Amino acid sequence: MPSAEDATDDGLRRRMPGLAQAEAAHRLIEAGRNEVAARRTRSLPSRVLAQLGDPLMTVLIAAVALTLAIGDHADFVVIGLVIVVNTAVGVAQEIRADNAVAALSALSAPHARVRREGADHDVPAATVVPGDVLLLGEGDIIAADAVLDEAAALLVDESMLTGESVPVDKDTRTSLSAGTVVVRGRGVATVTATGGSSSLGRIAALLDDRRRPTPLQSRLASLGRVLATVTLVLCVVVLVQGLVRGLPLGTMAVTAISLAVAAVPESLPAVVTLALALGARRMAARHALVRRLPAVETLGSVSVLATDKTGTLTEGRMVVQHVWTPRTTVELQGVGYEPEGDVLTRGKPVSPAARHEAQEVLAATALCNDAVLRPPRPASPGSRWEALGDPMEGALLTAALKVGCPDRTELVSTHPRIAEAPFDSRRRRMTTIHAMPSGGVLVCLKGAPEAVLVPSILTDSPDTLRLARAEAARFAEGGYRVLAVASGLRRETPRPVTAGEAGLRLLGLVALSDPPKPLAAVTLAACRGAGITPILVTGDHPATASAVADRVELLGPHAAADHVVTGEDVAAGRVSDLTAVRVFARTDPQQKLDIVAAWRARGAITAMTGDGVNDGPALQQADIGIAMGERGTEVARQAADLVLTDDELSTVVSAVEEGRRVFDNIRRFLVYGMAGGAAEILVMLIGPLLGLPLPLRAGQILWINLLTHGLTGVAMGAEPASPGVMHRPPRRADQHILGGGAWQQLLLTAAVVTAVSLTAGLAARAWHAPWQSVLFLALLAAQLGVVLGLRDRPVTLENPFLPLSVLLSALLGAAALYFPPLGAVLDTEPLGWKAAALACACAPAGFLGARLAHAVFRPPNPRHPHERGDEHARHEPIGSER
């Protein structure tokens, strides 16, 4: 069976076949990629200078100069080595993070529909070239500057260029600008300028491309400044303490500076950026494409998920199951877009008269239709019938073929479309006008029953309209999406097209089903288990919304969606508390914004899914906007923070889990790094009071810092998610990064590391062993024990890099004692087996201390506050004061 082509442009396709593929490739080389000026890549020298410009690195450089001036060549070598290694690691992490973000940007690049060699193609917008024929539809972002060749009720939002909020009507031969948005209608245009030559490119050339830190990085930088101040004060105390005991100024100055640098995890911003970027890459592997890095952090805090219905909770592949006319009801069987299945009336084969009436209804829907139905491709075994365009319109084409209507190509050839009024959310109906073979024109209309079954449109009797409304309500209560279909003959084309919508005859109703996805109920249950409150926000009929909410158990397995609020209720202010509602129907873009704003005012972190043009504002307003990658419009994808490449809501749960994992790992690194730094300061402060004059030398401090913050610190970013990560409430938005028990864990861990290290040093001194070398090894071993103790699952093979990094750090620590050249630089001495065993015993002590801190100060799992909201939603009247 031949495939149906886009109805009205067969002639245009012949007149404008588009560029040949070879010519398009040649022009792409000549004109360059259709991209605005790319962010300038930082050169390697500039990256190195940025690392050296860090305040703490500047202090280290001053220490190098000081050690060189006083002739302390050993510390000069060690500090210089630390500078080189820290700078190299920082630059490598920055480059790796930039590469990860660049890869994500490439994945999220917009696409465009073009016609080349007479066929339609979906291509990356960056490959559009001058002369390409663009095919434009509602929701598309215009990929390049172009001139319209054909327009059908085309309305374009140019606010991003002009600042004017009112969309602009576009007619043939008018110009279009890159980056503007089609909000209504269809069009065909020829590209005139791309890339930097386009209007968008000229503006982009004026923009500041300096990157801003993520919110998490800003908070960590603020924390780092406070820690640096406190640490420097304590290091001055260490300096003064040493001078009072008569130690040389140069030695104590270098020691204090080294301690300051070692105590503060100065590599934290780079580690955070890398953790966010790698988390985003892991999400991409799980079909969740992060378009903005801060979203990785925010995802872990999501407490409310506002989801739409079609294609998210349901399959998004609609099937016509019933065709009702005032005289009969026809049932259609079959699934998907395959035009196969029985046509029945009350369970029996359909009569010729009933089939004819169904054909009349469905032929009108096939004409009043912009979808394309394509058969399986012979070159692709296993391929299936598919619909390009609106799934509902594809289902109508399939149903028309099932009842024996001619193929849409044949219908269009005998009834060519000559005018149209596209569907929009305000009119809620679509009208097309077709030339008749015998003269005159045919008006075909389909739309929501409330917008069609009215005397201003239909000439049918009041009894017929009343019967049709009752039947539409019955279908809707059963969870069906219902369309009313009407038609009428005219002598000439009405101007405007909407003038032809009066005086039509009702053909019948079409009831379509969109079955829930198999995993929808499981996914929503997982959300509730993670403390995330799911709500349904749809434009469908209230009865349909309620039926779907019940089927997917949106409120839980033992609750029914008995309270549904409509957009009209919201607009009229009849709902005093929008956060008490779980199912919204017949909503428009403004009401979606109101719903998001109400939850945010309550302190919730909101995530909203969407796929249409009208979802764009709400996706931007929500803390996390989630767009559908397969069926979503370009407007929705560009407005979103997260794009689901598989259109599966379950992917959101995976993304939330990944977000919580990233945040947990960053916090774990903070506890580990700051506890180690605090222990080093405490050892340097308390040691002299216990008779250890200079507990550690500058080089030894920096070597410990290099092995702990460098190797093991980075490996902590790859730790797997905690076993119960999705069974605890979301983190509050106002919670400090070290809140929820992290401060207490840090202090207890630091105290344990300090105590066991000093104990080892004092015991070694009592044995007349090289106590400073013992203290050095003990402090390193205790911190390596801590890093393993902080794991949620101490024994797991999911992150082999962490135990391997601990092993490598231990070997490098041993090398500081037993490799003579390194020992000479660090001023350490080899240890006997007894002293070495004493130092190494601090590792299990550090491990046990970290486990104890984790057990004692692990935050409880209080009942999530939004669960109380669920109870109110179930048992209180909607709109009541709470």
Q: For the segment 341-398, what is each residue's pLDDT rounded down to a tens digit? A: 999 998 899 999 999 999 999 999 999 998 888 888 776 777 788 887 677 888 999 9
On average, the pLDDT of the chain sits at 81
pLDDT over 60 (residue 107) = no
Residues contacting 351, CB < 8 A, separation 6+: 345
Gap between the Cα atoms of 490 and 468, Å rounded: 24
- Find tokens 């500058």 and name the residue: 698
Residues contacting 356, CB < 8 A, separation 6+: none
State whether CATH 3.40.1110.10 applies to domain 319-513: yes
Residues contacting 534, CB < 8 A, separation 6+: 305, 307, 524, 527, 528, 554, 582
What pLDDT sits at residue 230? 74
pLDDT over 50 (residue 280) = yes
Q: What is the pLDDT of residues 473-495, one digit of tens each?
A: 999 888 788 999 999 999 999 98
pLDDT over 90 (residue 643) = no
Higher-scoring residue by pLDDT: 109, 564: 564
Residues contacting 92, CB < 8 A, separation 6+: none
Nearest partner of 321 among 549, 514, 546, judged by Cα: 514
Q: How many of the other CB atoms lie within 10 Å of CB of 190?
A: 18
Residues contacting 175, CB < 8 A, separation 6+: 145, 146, 147, 148, 192
What pLDDT sits at residue 89? 63
The CATH number assigned to the domain with range 226-284+655-857 reads: 1.20.1110.10
- pLDDT bucket at 4, cuts 50 / 70 / 90: very low
Report yes or no: 129 and 27 within 8 Å, Cβ to Cβ: yes
What pLDDT sits at residue 93? 57
Nearest partner of 402 among 350, 348, 341, 352, judged by Cα: 341
Nearest partner of 775 among 846, 680, 851, judged by Cα: 680
Gap between the Cα atoms of 30 and 390, Å rounded: 36
What tokens appear for 593 in the block?
Answer: 């914004």
Report yes or no: 293 and 280 within 8 Å, Cβ to Cβ: yes
Report yes or no: 419 and 433 within 8 Å, Cβ to Cβ: yes
Report yes or no: 741 and 841 within 8 Å, Cβ to Cβ: no
Report yes or no: 642 and 655 within 8 Å, Cβ to Cβ: yes
Q: How many angstroms from the chain centroid is the CA of residue 4?
A: 35
CATH architecture of 7-31+109-204: Distorted Sandwich (2.70)
State whether CATH 3.40.50.1000 applies to domain 289-313+517-647: yes
What tokens appear for 627 in the block?
Answer: 């767009």
Low-confidence winner among 249-253, 358-362, 569-573 (lowest mean pLDDT): 249-253
pLDDT over 70 (residue 303) = yes
Report yes or no: 186 and 152 within 8 Å, Cβ to Cβ: yes
Q: ∠ at Cα 516 (515, 518), nearest 5°? A: 120
Prediction pTM value: 0.68
Q: ∠ at Cα 305 (303, 309), nearest 5°? A: 170
- Find tokens 């009541």 and name the residue: 880
Low-confidence winner among 325-329, 710-714, 763-767 (lowest mean pLDDT): 710-714
Nearest partner of 487 among 339, 325, 351, 322, judged by Cα: 325
Report yes or no: 410 and 334 within 8 Å, Cβ to Cβ: no
- pLDDT bucket at 817, cuts 50 / 70 / 90: very high
What pLDDT sits at residue 318? 82
Active site (annotated) includes residue 308: yes
Q: What is the pLDDT of residues 705-730, one digit of tens each?
A: 878 877 787 788 788 888 888 888 88
Q: What is the mean pLDDT of residues 397-421?
A: 92
pLDDT over 60 (residue 415) = yes
What tokens appear for 446 in the block?
Answer: 């389909």
What tokens appear for 703 in the block?
Answer: 């070597």
What pLDDT sits at residue 506? 97
CA atoms within 13 A on the CB side of 102: 10
Q: What is the pLDDT of residues 26-46, one digit of tens each?
A: 999 988 888 765 555 677 888
Secondary structure, 3-state, 63-115: HHHHHHHHCCHHHHHHHHHHHHHHHHHHHHHHHHHHHHHHHHHHHCCCEEEEE
**C-alpha dist (Å) from residue 549 to 351, 449, 480, 518:** 37, 22, 13, 14
Higher-scoring residue by pLDDT: 95, 444: 444
What pLDDT sits at residue 72? 58
pLDDT over 60 (residue 862) = no
| Catalytic residue of the set 54, 308, 407, 641 | 308
Q: What is the mean pLDDT of residues 505-523?
A: 90
Nearest partner of 433 among 425, 424, 422, judged by Cα: 422
Q: How many angstroms from the chain centroid is the CA of residue 659?
A: 10
Nearest partner of 479 among 403, 550, 554, 528, judged by Cα: 550
Gap between the Cα atoms of 548 and 478, Å rounded: 9
Q: What is the pLDDT of residues 655-694, one digit of tens each?
A: 898 888 888 888 888 889 889 888 988 888 888 888 888 7
What pLDDT sits at residue 215? 53
Domains of the chain by residue range: 7-31+109-204, 226-284+655-857, 289-313+517-647, 319-513
What tokens appear for 626 in the block?
Answer: 């989630």
- pLDDT bucket at 865, cuts 50 / 70 / 90: very low
Gap between the Cα atoms of 687 and 779, Å rounded: 13
Low-confidence winner among 65-69, 525-529, 711-715 (lowest mean pLDDT): 65-69
The proportion of the chain whose per-residue pLDDT surpasses 90, expressed as a percent, equals: 32
Low-confidence winner among 74-83, 133-142, 193-202, 504-513 (lowest mean pLDDT): 74-83
What pLDDT sits at residue 92? 72
Gap between the Cα atoms of 671 and 783, Å rounded: 11
